[in-house]
Structure 1
């Protein structure tokens, strides 16, 4: 199992925009092969975290290299969406123990 946490640094005034964007992704993530869990987490200090759990690292990499991933990060005109986040930190983990 593989876990990915993408910590987004988001200005307070843009937090609702990010919540809406990732709410639209929730149903789509259910259809991604190998995706076991998808959560969007919100902290009061302005950080928001996208937490995903995968069957394997390969499933995650397949997703990030897919056309569906590219579409999820584009606006309706096909151009890359400008993120309201001022930065992010991507952390990945191989799961050793799980119950």
Structure 2
């Protein structure tokens, strides 16, 4: 274990200055900006589509329940009518 940590500890404990870098080579530039913008817009559009689909599914389930309740009510009324018509 000490063999693998030796270079890391040597770097941390040494008094070497941090390496200098060119900020132009480190920044993402305009292509990076447009790539992140594209990902953000696509994510936003997918989220909106997901919300629309979930809302539509919920409305369909509510309408299905209402129709089933109406059919059950109609069948119950017909059964009650039939029961009252028979002597």
User: Which structure is higher in RCO with an 8 Å CA cutoff and minimum separation 6?
Assistant: 1
TM-score normalised per structure 2: 0.21
Q: Which has the higher strand share?
A: 1
Work out which of the two has the higher radius of gyration on C-alpha atoms and give 1 or 2.
2
Q: Give the TM-score, by structure 1 length.
A: 0.19
More helix by share: 2
